[in-house]
Structure 1
């Protein structure tokens, strides 16, 4: 009988995570079970439970992969002063490659999650919210006006979401320069915000 090494276990674990990630991306989080994940790679449900004790633990591991990918993009973005150059480099690094888009379905489902008591997904949702705040804080240090950070994060999320749904081409880093011009010299954004405030004031209450 063949002995299973740590390397074998790591490979199997990676296969399980890749299977879960792909199924969630195609079907949505709430339509994917441990049995689905196992069947997709020719394993039994019990074999998957040998690596992850529960569905929640499997999802937590997937979220850890997402957190690691985002952290790797954020790590080099030490504040080097606000302005188009610093912001442009940061956006270029953040949008480089297509890896972040693969996490969109999981993160979106967790952000939209609402539940009752003792839910396995609530702690994961809290982790996502902390990650969003970290992302916002990082970009706030690079913007001429820190209060634009939330808008920029929403813009980036829209790009990643569009890419995940195949509505935007690969190579999102090509958008970095345009975003840097828009947010680095934020006159256009200020005009938009002023217009929005004006419309909100004129609306009947």
Structure 2
């Protein structure tokens, strides 16, 4: 009986998180309350509060989902030592851009990054976690890029593509952009540590996705 109750609680928590993700994607984070989430899955507000004491607590769970998704998609890339396998960059980019996986987290991440701190703030620790995740993504990508200094630009490029997809301004098949991105940031023949510039050196192809 205890085991079943725990399983039921985990399943209910998962329904709440999935409902919140869908509503926030459709309406934006600002427009979604715990009451909205409860109504969408036929629960009372009190039942939702039994699992999440506040909206910030729900956002904490949603951010954990985003972190788990990112870690899973970067796992093959993270296993390689710096500079050992630049050819893993393209499949890693394809994994990040594949389907709805990461795009479904965009509205939450944008909300937390734009957060303005107030008194007794519960969101600032979440914003700090997002920033640490950005640093981790940049460092992981940089480890296999010929020009590691461009990893921040690649992260910005990825964010733009995912945001466009989340806003339905880009197709769901963004993983098809991975090959072009890989050639753009790790062009064939470019030596690790080289940074292209206008004066000379390796030039990036003009096939930006």
Q: With the length of structure 1 as denominator, give the TM-score of the two structures.
A: 0.85
Partner of 1:51: 51
Q: Give, in angstroms, the shift of residue 94 of structure 1.
A: 2.5
Between the two structures, name the one with larger relative contact order (CA 8 Å, sep ≥ 6). Answer: 1
> Could you tell me how far apart the structure 1 residues matched to 2:88 and 2:20 are?
36
Q: How does 1:86-165 map to 2 (within 5 A)?
A: 86-165=88-167
> Could you tell me how far apart the structure 1 residues matched to 2:88 and 2:13 are?
38
Contact 1:83 1:143 in 2 (8 A): no
Partner of 2:16: 16
Q: Cα RMSD between the aligned structures?
A: 2.3
> Could you tell me how far apart the structure 2 residues matched to 1:51 and 1:117 are?
24
> Could you tell me how far apart the structure 2 residues matched to 1:143 and 1:122 are?
32
**Deviation by residue 1:51-78 (Cα, 9 ceiling, x = unmatched):** 1122211110011011100010111112
Pairs aligned (count)? 191
Q: Give, in angstroms, the shift of residue 192 of structure 1.
A: 7.2
**Quick check: 99-108 or 13-22, which moved more?**
13-22
Unaligned runs of at least 5 residues, structure 2:
201-209
Partner of 2:80: 79
> Could you tell me how far apart the structure 2 residues matched to 1:124 and 1:135 are?
17
**Deviation by residue 1:165-185 (Cα, 9 ceiling, x = unmatched):** 111111211111000111112
Partner of 1:25: 25
> Could you tell me how far apart the structure 2 residues matched to 1:60 and 1:184 are?
35
**Deviation by residue 1:127-180 (Cα, 9 ceiling, x = unmatched):** 000000000000011111111000000000111111111111112111110001
> Could you tell me how far apart the structure 2 residues matched to 1:106 and 1:192 are?
38
Unaligned runs of at least 5 residues, structure 1:
195-205
> Could you tell me how far apart the structure 1 residues matched to 2:13 and 2:140 are?
32
Q: With the length of structure 2 as denominator, give the TM-score of the two structures.
A: 0.83
The structure with more helix, counted as a fraction of residues: 1
Partner of 2:169: 167
Contact 1:83 1:144 in 2 (8 A): no
